[in-house]
Amino acid sequence: MMTRLSPNQSGRIALLLSFCALSCSVRAQLIACNSTTGNSAYKIFVDDVKSLSNTPASPALARKMGGLRDFIVENLRTMSKGRASVMPCLGRFPGDASAFTDDEFGSLDNLRVLLEVWGAVEDSAGGRGALGFVLVPARQLAPPAVFVFRRASSDFLSQAKQGAKLEVFTPIALGILDYQNLKYEDAIPNLCVGVNKLADVANSADANSDQQTIADQNKLLTELRRIVNDAITKARSDPNSRYQLLKAAPGNVFLCPVA
């Protein structure tokens, strides 16, 4: 005998089905990166910059979104200094941070991806949007290791090119990579560049900033400062280390050297 659902129950089920359909469609867009650019062992994925508006993007907005993606590619190529191949992943778009599950992180790690970046325009005029960064080597250090920076302005697409966020995560990824590979002397400069840039971003947050994003940034900063101390301590075991003359701060903790 079938049980007849009340209107409220039917409504809740319909809402759940709609949510599932949306979630599935977002994750379905996270296709494999088919780029063959570069020959480095390590990779940086740059996904599409897409509009989330129900209104189709105008040709002018589409050109601006493509221009932002191209700018991100060139910026990251400069920041990575040839140590990672920056790969434009056409058609790949996560939709939101929830696409980066443990399985997806495992897949990225197996592919030796250090960083993944995407952009989302949240209105048809291009005034509001977000940049997302997936810091793959930091997943075990400071999960979830996915950072989304939203901005509401007169022109998100132009201002995103001027933001300090683009310069934060590449040195952190390279520094963590060297630290994990026990190259402590090499890890310290990039870790410290990343610590200083991330601290600047965190300190510039205002009352409108997402509190969870700020908390995630501060959690990452805490872990980065911990491994900076450890890296300097271990680097100093080599009598020829450039950090031999560096003095510990109170508590016998080593901090990033002042440039």
Cβ contacts of residue 32 below 8 Å, gap of 6+? 92
Enumerate helices (H) and strands (E) in the chain, giving the number of each: 7, 5
* C-alpha gyration radius of the chain: 21
Domains in the chain with CATH codes = 29-235 (3.40.50)
Helix 184-203 with 169-180: angle, nearest 10 deg: 150
In this model, does residue 4 exceed pLDDT 50?
Answer: no
Rounded Cα distance, 122 and 49, in Å = 11
User: Which one, of 76, 52, 51, lies nearest residue 63 by Cα?
Assistant: 51
Q: Does 148 score more than 80 pLDDT?
A: yes
Assess whether pLDDT exceeds 90 at residue 222: yes
Q: In this structure, are strands 43-51 and 113-121 parallel, antiparallel, or unpaired?
A: parallel
Give 11-20's long-range contacts (Cβ < 8 A, gap of 24+): none
3-class secondary structure, 95: coil
pLDDT in tens, 169-202: 999 999 999 999 999 999 999 999 999 999 999 9
Rounded mean pLDDT of the chain?
Answer: 86
Q: Token pair of 160, please?
A: 């995103």
3-state secondary structure at position 118 = strand
The pLDDT score that the predictor gives to residue 95 is 79
Question: What mean pLDDT do residues 223-251 have?
Answer: 97
This prediction's pTM: 0.85
pLDDT of 208 reads 73
